[in-house]
Structure 1
Amino acid sequence: MFDAQKGTSDKQVGSKLRIGIVQARWNENITSTLAAACRAELLRLGVQEQHIRHVLVPGALEVPTALQALAERDEFDALIALGCIIRGETYHFELVANESGAGVTRIALDYQIPVANAIITTENLEQAVARQTEKGVDAARVAVEMANLLEELS
């Protein structure tokens, strides 16, 4: 059921959830904005501040390792991956984008925990700036909705 006053549905109520966030520091000006938007939306959805664990890693390739460490703790209902990969002049962009994305998905499947992947990939800084707030909000909503869905299905 959708609550028009709150702008949420039953699947977007986070009051009982524990959420882990892993943020890459590479392109930190973008990832910090992603994280701030994500945290604000989690709070708006009812997730309690003390139930949000936020960790920083050097870059997108390190995000899956930290997600795995959080998943192994078995205390989170959902995880969120935050990062920003901007295309350069070499193949490195594809490598980082593909490997980090595959790693994030693997954690979700191996540990049967929802992982909202908001590691944004863009052609340039302007595209990253244009997406940073929206993708942070989206990640929070996906994490809460999927945590509630998996709880309902179990």
Structure 2
Amino acid sequence: MQLADQGALDATDPRLKGKNLSIGIVQARFNADITNALAQACRSELLALGVAEKNITLVQVPGALEVPLALQGLAENLKYDALIALGCIIRGETYHFELVANESGAGVSRIALDYKVPIANAILTTENLEQAVARQTDKGRDAARVAVEMANLLESLS
């Protein structure tokens, strides 16, 4: 067992019960092959956890920098129990990678805190395409699980 897997919840754990949850997903289109795979894995896992298809909203934006603004728009609706950010930033030869990675991550965190809505951040930041491909399915599934677990946690705290 890898260290990262320790503490993972079994799909039968009540904290992963998605029934009656409403989940919003914002997907960046940049690096579309990767983000489409992230979205497909995420949606499949949400359905497997019991989230109804009608309770999953997917919106697309041009790139990772636009994700926080779309998350804010969804959060303002007050109808989502959790949100998910999907994107892929692959390091290039310029400082642009750091700018996009840092600013998108900070924006996602700010929206979560400002609106008190859990956001699973699955905006991949990788050194190359191969790393992104290797992570696309697992991170999509992980994002679904994080969103459901955190939605249930916040509900239990209120």
Shorter-chain TM-score bucket reads over 0.9
The alignment status of 1:68 with 2:72, answered yes or no, reads: yes
- The C-alpha deviation readout for 1:62-99, integer Å capped at 9, x for no partner, is 00000000000000000000000000000000000000
Secondary structure at 2:51 match in 1: coil
The one-letter amino acid of 1:18's match is: S
TM superposition score normalised by structure 2: 0.94
- Which residue is equivalent to 2:36? 32
- Which residue is equivalent to 1:117? 121
- Which residue is equivalent to 2:140? 136
Identity %: 74
Deviation at 1:111, TM superposition (A): 0.1
CA distance in 2, matches of 1:20, 1:9: 22
CA distance in 2, matches of 1:150, 1:8: 19
Deviation at 1:8, TM superposition (A): 2.4
The one-letter amino acid of 1:131's match is: R
The list of structure 1 runs, each at least 4 consecutive aligned residues, that deviate by more than 4 angstroms after superposition, is: none
Deviation at 1:45, TM superposition (A): 0.1
Counterparts of 1:48-127 in structure 2, within 5 Å, are: 48-127=52-131
CA distance in 1, matches of 2:136, 2:60: 17
The one-letter amino acid of 1:63's match is: V
Residue ranges of structure 2 left out of the alignment (5+ in a row): 1-8
TM superposition score normalised by structure 1: 0.96
Secondary structure at 1:64 match in 2: helix
Residue ranges of structure 1 left out of the alignment (5+ in a row): none
The one-letter amino acid of 2:136's match is: Q
